[in-house]
Structure 1
Amino acid sequence: MHKRMPFTPLIRAIGLVGFGEFANRQGLNPVEMLQRASIPQDILRRQDGILSYRRFSGLLELCARCSGNPLFGLQFGLHQGVDVFGELFYLIRNARTVGDALAELRASYSLYFNDAEIGLDIEDGRARLSYSPNERDVPGVSQVEESSCGIGLQLMRTLAGSGWQPRAIRLRHLPLQDESHYLQALGLIPTFGARCSETEFDSSDLSLPLSSANETLHRLIADHMSRIERLAADELPSYVRQLLRHLLPSGRATIEKIADCLAIHPRTLQHWLAQEGTSFQRLLDETRQEMAGQCLADPSISMAQMSGLLGYSNPSGFNRAFNRWFGMSPLEWQRKHGIKRQPRLLRIGRSGAEH
């Protein structure tokens, strides 16, 4: 059994929800900040996109420095609140109790993020909700931990009531600003230099019932989310496929671009993929084959549109590749599978124009 490679943590782009608005409030140009942090600006428009944790932490550090606000991360987390959980929040809020909701968070966290472990420990009538990053020495990690603190506080206030207040908040780092600013933002002064970043509260809060609980809806959402690909730390080929699906339509699905999204060198990416028994070219071909099958099943998509979605500059390139994969043309594949092409005029009528 081969040894798994070390791997850079990733998060879904939903981790940047509300960034544009908040950056503007801080006197920053969000597009400029994203560019300087080597993050594509279009990532704000696709929340299921994938983003390197190192790029994310670097972005928060850059924003804190450029805005002159050391508590940028903390205030950003408070601004985001439960919006950062996306669909996951609908699962959480339909649990029976606060404790059940936090258990759902821990179990489903890796659907969106693999940057940290979420812990929930109960001892002597106290509960501790913790955030432990998998990479602890990257620039900006203190900003991310404070952001997570703000998000966790807003989550608990959403679940347990707007007046909810923890017994204590602990942070691993030293204060980033005078402690009075923390008091203003959080309603209490955290303990700094702690073993891990955590929020402590009465364990009895875990038994609080949720007024929004709906068992049927909870079951439906849980079933839906069970089909979402997790960001598990040992599934590099899965990450690459997800990134390819997002980048192919823009024609930017190169190994250099994928490696840049993961904040690693292209040679490192090739080496890690080889350890997993695959290669970038193989994953590119497999992803294109999968997407081609999905596109061909829809007779309203033209060959020109299809080749563009798969990252080809013209239909002839797509046709050659398809013949190599399946030993037949795309049109022959459709005929074989009983899929009838729609007349060109009908396609134009539906979409307004055929590209």
Structure 2
Amino acid sequence: MWSSRFIMNHSIRAASLEGFSDLVRSYHANPNQILKEAGIVTSQLRDPDAFIYYEHFLAALELAAQHCQCDTFGLELSTKQGVNTLGLIGAYMSRQANIVDALTVARKYMYLHVEGLSLAVENSNSKSCEIQFLNLAPNELSPQKAQVTLGTCFCILRDLVGPTWRINKVSFRQDAPKNQEVFRDLFGCQPEFNSATDTIYFQSQFLSLKPNINNQLLDKMLFEEIESTKPNSQLEQLQRIDNAIKTLLATGDCTKENIALCMGLHPKKLQRFLAEQKTTYREMIDQVRKREALILLKNHQFNLTTVALKLGYCELSVFSRRFKIWFGMSPTQWQSRM
């Protein structure tokens, strides 16, 4: 049995609201008013890597569904999502050996986009598998939340698998909406409602396929992120490496080899470039951790264990010792002075 599970974090990337404003406007509603009511500053959406509170994200979905009088708003928003909205992580997923490996990467990251994802293959000879979404308490049915979660994962897998992607069945715990056509259009099958779980069922043969990304927008993003074509662009390249480290820290896969992979460089070329800049990979990752540690601690948004995990430390004690080396005091002491 192969399985993976990850739990919701209290914040998600602003990229999760990609296309929100345009979708709201298509229903002749005011997206700025809805975002303000939900507690989200509109300018936050300009940076896809900015973080917004998950509760505010859910509030925006529910409010939009009400203002737009659209009970399938979450599902329609999910169609704006895909591998390209995942940034460098999406690029990293698309370069894995097969879909299973890509989903292993997702296991460490997708909590920033969806909540409570659990993928399980019953046995190696099984012809089918399922993705269950444990994203709701039994007595708190939230149609928009379930719709955007299942829809987003479906679109990401569609990008990864390519045009052959098909599912056998999709089930929702929510009541049947008035407009079921949008469900059929997206999933390619008749959805089941009032089910026991929110689940996508598909053939396990897809798991062995190599990710197939033919997305021009993603190619453009990667070109802008990883190519350094100007002879005087060393600082830009260093910033891209910095951003890649920041993105991969929380995944536990922030190795020199994986950073080089995301940057489109051979590890030795990356090492030579850093040497030319009078630094090393270890020094850069240390700098990023120091900077991000102070930002996370200053915001008081996460507990210390979560901060340690976000910085790529498997244990709080390891982070605390390192922090004391950096700043001469423990994280708790530093926070108490703020």
1:128·1:201 contact (CA, 8 Å) conserved in 2?
A: yes
Cα displacement (A) at 1:55: 1.5
1:15 corresponding residue in structure 2: 16
Structure-2 separation of matches of 1:38 and 1:241: 21
Quick check: 1:227 aligned with 2:249? yes
Aligned amino acid, residue 72 of structure 1: F
Aligned amino acid, residue 208 of structure 1: L
Match of 1:129 among 128, 131, 148: 131
Cα-to-partner distance string for 1:202-228 (whole Å, 9 max, x where unaligned): 101111123569xxx9xx998664324
Quick check: 1:119 aligned with 2:118? yes
Structure-1 separation of matches of 2:154 and 2:165: 9
1:15·1:84 contact (CA, 8 Å) conserved in 2?
A: yes
Change over 3 Å in CA distance of 1:172–1:48 after alignment to 2: same
Change over 3 Å in CA distance of 1:278–1:177 after alignment to 2: farther
Cα displacement (A) at 1:19: 1.7
Change over 3 Å in CA distance of 1:94–1:8 after alignment to 2: closer
Tell me, which stretches of 5 or more residues in structure 2 are unaligned?
1-7, 215-225, 227-240, 253-291, 303-329
Aligned amino acid, residue 121 of structure 1: A
Change over 3 Å in CA distance of 1:48–1:36 after alignment to 2: same
1:304 corresponding residue in structure 2: none
2:127·2:205 contact (CA, 8 Å) conserved in 1?
A: yes
2:297·2:335 contact (CA, 8 Å) conserved in 1?
A: no
2:230 corresponding residue in structure 1: none
Structure-1 separation of matches of 2:85 and 2:143: 18
TM-score (norm 2): 0.60
Quick check: 1:242 aligned with 2:243? no
1:91·1:222 contact (CA, 8 Å) conserved in 2?
A: no
Change over 3 Å in CA distance of 1:241–1:284 after alignment to 2: farther
Structure-2 separation of matches of 1:227 and 1:71: 35
1:51 corresponding residue in structure 2: 52
1:93 corresponding residue in structure 2: 94
Structure-2 separation of matches of 1:161 and 1:197: 23
Cα-to-partner distance string for 1:28-81 (whole Å, 9 max, x where unaligned): 221111011121222112333322222111111111111111101001001223
2:76·2:182 contact (CA, 8 Å) conserved in 1?
A: no
Aligned amino acid, residue 116 of structure 1: E
- Name the SS for the 2:40 alignment partner: coil
Aligned amino acid, residue 210 of structure 2: P
- Name the SS for the 1:226 alignment partner: helix
Structure number with bigger Rg: 1
1:50·1:243 contact (CA, 8 Å) conserved in 2?
A: no
Cα displacement (A) at 1:244: 4.5
- Name the SS for the 1:177 alignment partner: coil
Map residues 10-89 of structure 1 onto 2, 5 A cutoff: 10-89=11-90
Cα displacement (A) at 1:149: 1.5
Change over 3 Å in CA distance of 1:153–1:226 after alignment to 2: closer
Cα displacement (A) at 1:131: 2.2
Aligned amino acid, residue 103 of structure 1: T
Cα displacement (A) at 1:117: 2.2
Structure-2 separation of matches of 1:241 and 1:136: 36
Cα displacement (A) at 1:96: 1.1
1:54·1:138 contact (CA, 8 Å) conserved in 2?
A: no
Q: CA RMSD in A?
A: 3.6
TM-score (norm 1): 0.57
- Name the SS for the 2:117 alignment partner: strand
Change over 3 Å in CA distance of 1:134–1:88 after alignment to 2: farther
Identity %, equivalent residues: 22
Structure-2 separation of matches of 1:243 and 1:27: 41
1:130·1:198 contact (CA, 8 Å) conserved in 2?
A: yes
- Name the SS for the 1:70 alignment partner: coil
Aligned amino acid, residue 134 of structure 2: S
Map residues 313-352 of structure 1 onto 2, 5 A cutoff: none
Change over 3 Å in CA distance of 1:84–1:194 after alignment to 2: farther
Structure-2 separation of matches of 1:98 and 1:83: 16
2:285 corresponding residue in structure 1: none
Structure-1 separation of matches of 2:174 and 2:294: 33
Structure-1 separation of matches of 2:132 and 2:293: 26
